[in-house]
Every structure is written in C-alpha cells, then in structure tokens.
Structure 1
Amino acid sequence: MTAGRRADQPLSPTGRSTPRRERERAQSDRDTLYDVLDASLVCHLAVVVDGVPLALPTVFAVDLDGPDEGGTLYVHGSVASRSLVQAPGQDVSVTMTVLDGIVLARSGFNHSMNYRSAVVVGRPRLVTGEAERSHALDLLVDHVTPGRSATLRRPTRKELSATTVLALPLHEASVKRRVGDPSDEDVDVEAGGVWAGVLPLGLRAGEPVTGADVDVAAVPEHVTARVAALNRRSP
C-alpha cells in the first residue's frame, strides 16, 4: 500500500513524537518538516548497537510520496555496518538540525541559537526490492546535488551487494524552531551597557574545484545550480 504524503496528517501524532519542553517552539504544519528535510544535508541516526546508544552522522534522502506512512526517509551504508544491521529490530530516531544564527544575549543563561530541527522516530525496514533500492540510492545522490544521479553510471552488482538501505516512515515526527532576538531579562535590558543580538549563520558553497584526473572541462549545470541554490539560502 502506498501511504505517501498527507498534508492533513498531524505533525506529531503520538506522545513520543510530541515536544515536551519549550513547546512554544514546536511546529504543527508538516510543511515545516519538509523545509528542514530539504535544508539539511546530514542527519544523525540514533540506534542501540550491542547495548550501547549511538548517534551516527550519515546522509539521507526523502521521498514524500514513498511507500511508508507519511512518506519515506532513506539512509544507507555498508552491509557490514552494525548500526544498519541491528536497526530494523528496534525503534530508532533520526535528527536533522539547521543552524540559522547564534543568539548573543546580555547574560550567559539566555544565550541561544536560532535553529530548525526535526526528529523522526519509528521502526525502520530493510529495503530489499531492486526497484526501490535503485530509486532510494538515486535520491541519496540527488538530495545532496539535485540532478546528479542521471549523469552517473548505474551501480554495479558488487556495489549494490555491499550496500544496505533502510527506510523509515515520516509518520512520527516533530519540528522545533527558534527565531528572533535574544530573550533577555527585563533587569538586564534596563541595566544596559551590553551589546546583544544575533549572528546569522548559513551554509555556503565555494567555486567548484575540478578533479585533477577529470577530462571534462566545463562544470556541469547541475553543479553550478547547486552552488547558486545553496548560496541563495545563506545570509
């Protein structure tokens, strides 16, 4: 059954996916989840491996119309990865964070960050179907640089046999966001004498550097487009 994207689904449909602290920063619109997923390049997969909780950075991809409830989040890695081998037998969480600014307040206690963060929880499944695995691996490439997968040779059987792909439903998710100025105490504002404000942050791309052994002189359009898109987002 194809569950796919549902704009009318609640963003945090369960107790374990509902933020409990700083609830004023919690978002309720699923579009805010899609925004964080689109802006993030790396996620952290939290999984218990041999009894030890680990949060491992990895690339990811999203298919909002995927076969899982609420859409599908994909992660991949080596077939020898213990985290990917053990993950399907347990509930896991995947976290993405986008830093938008450093919030410099008048007291150390009120320093903060402007950010967008998302947490997806659920039980992943091992992707075994050839068509879905191929689709997921293309999405993983294209999430980093849209349009890239179409320019590459297809994976070999050896490469595919060395790769594990996991899929996680986007059904249970939460998003928090902080924006704006420091939240200083009135007494600190009245006392004056200390600068406070926000230092904006953003991810920027430099000029593409062609590899030394590349025989193609021109940088592909999908690469220059990615540079432009990343830099449009930056302050």
Structure 2
Amino acid sequence: MSDRPALSATPRTRLRRMREKGRTQHSDLLAVLRGGLVAHLGVVVDGCPMVVPTVYGHDDDNVYFHGSVASRSLTARSEVCLTVTLFDGLVLARSVFEHGINYRSAMIYGVPRAVTGRDEKLHGLRILTEHVAPGQWDYARPPSRKELAATALLALSLAEASVKIRTGPPDDGDSPDAALGLWAGELPVAPRWERPVPDPALPDAAVPVPQHIAGLAGRRLDRG
C-alpha cells in the first residue's frame, strides 16, 4: 500500500460541486479501484469523443488496461479520462427532486503510456488478470509471443485523480417534506457471483472447476 497522503489537486480534479462527497486520500482511490471490474475510457479520436468500457487492473502507481493493437482508442496517445463507478443503491426521498444514488467513483486523468517491454507487459497483464479473477493467471496458459505482440497494454499513472463517494439516507429528513408521511430511505444493491457454468466444449464433466473460481460463487463482486 502506498503511503502517499493525498490525491492531486489540479483544475481537473478539484471538486466545484458537492465538495463534501470528495475524498482526498490515495487509499480512497485504491479502494474504489479494488472494488470495480469495469472502467470507462474517455478519449478523443479523430476529433470525436469515444467512451469505451474496458476491464482493468492496478497497483499503487498505475492502472493497466488492454485491447487489440488495432484499437483506435488505444493508439490515440492523447489525454484520456478513465472512470470507475460502483453503484451501491438507490436513495429514495420524499420528493423526486431529492432522489439519488449511493455510489463510489474515481476519475483518473493523463496520457497513457504504452507498455512494450515483454517483462513489464507480462507484469501488467498478470495484474489485470488477477484483479478480475484472482488465481487465474497461474491456472491458465500464459500468453504466447504472438499473442503478446497482438495485445496493446497501456499504463495510466494515478498521479492525477479524484474520488467522490455518496453514502447514507436522503437529504430531506429535516425539510418540510418530512411532514408528508411518505416512506423514504435507501435501497441497497450488492451484486454477487453466480455458480460457474462449464463450457459446452469441455470433453466431459471430469474437468473440475478450479477452486479459485468455484470459491467465488455467492461472493460479492465488490472487493473494495
């Protein structure tokens, strides 16, 4: 765990609205990244904005994401914004105006760096794989040289990032609407892994589900 005390404060990361929802510690950023599985990559390609969903992995200093070397969103080499959002539930107020959601969100800005060296590329792909399915890197066949060459891996520094978190009940409990006699509160959501479904192409039922996958059944997706 990094011992850096605070996130960056730049014009892009400084919160101008709802500052009370902001979090300033580097550990808050890592907690959001740990909890998510899918990020959305915002990038401008040929003058047009694109927002691309992608799986990712991270360490204390970088977030890694990958795709085909032919992907335009991965070859732009320009400023990007990578966003991870965790949806924790509905916030149901007495008035429609005060409705909302509980969430944890991180936005990371910068110019991604192409990872080209074999050792670092394997390191980044391992981080990504283990983030999504811990134990799978050592279980499955590693990438071949040809597969590595066909894979674009990018590293985006965590140096410029912001975090926002909303928790708790509606904000109208002490407003005049409290006298309406309407129910208000939170409707939490907690997605969980289902039981593994074997590939129909498996030769027979004798191929067991590896324990690191079977053990996920019933667990929450959120590991933050």
Long gaps (5+) in structure 1: 65-70
Q: Secondary structure at the match of 2:85?
A: strand
When the two structures are superposed, what TM-score results if normalisation uses the length of structure 2?
0.92
Query: What are the within-5 Å matches in structure 2 for residues 78-227 of structure 1?
Result: 78-86=68-76, 88=77, 90-184=78-172, 186-190=175-179, 192-215=180-203, 216-227=206-217
Long gaps (5+) in structure 2: none
Q: Secondary structure at the match of 1:174?
A: strand
Q: CA RMSD in A?
A: 1.8
Cα distance in structure 1, aligned partners of 2:215 and 2:45: 39
Does the C-alpha gap of structure 1 residues 17 and 37 become closer, same or farther in structure 2, counting only changes over 3 Å? Answer: same
Q: C-alpha offsets along residues 74-130 of structure 1, whole Å, 9 cap, x if unaligned?
A: 1100111001010x2x21110000011100111111000000000111111111111
- Quick check: 1:27 aligned with 2:11? no
CA contact (8 A) 2:193 2:219 kept: no
Q: C-alpha offsets along residues 6-54 of structure 1, whole Å, 9 cap, x if unaligned?
A: 4234213322122221000001122111111011000000100110111
Which stretch of the first structure deviates more once superposed, 224-233 or 107-116?
224-233
> Aligned-pair distance for 1:168?
0.6
CA contact (8 A) 2:93 2:185 kept: yes
> Aligned-pair distance for 1:231?
6.3
Aligned-residue identity in percent:
46
Q: Secondary structure at the match of 2:75?
A: helix
Does the C-alpha gap of structure 1 residues 206 and 156 become closer, same or farther in structure 2, counting only changes over 3 Å? Answer: same
| Counterpart residue type for residue 73 of structure 2 | S
Q: Secondary structure at the match of 1:59?
A: strand
CA contact (8 A) 1:92 1:121 kept: yes
> Aligned-pair distance for 1:152?
1.2
CA contact (8 A) 2:69 2:152 kept: yes
- Quick check: 1:57 aligned with 2:53? yes
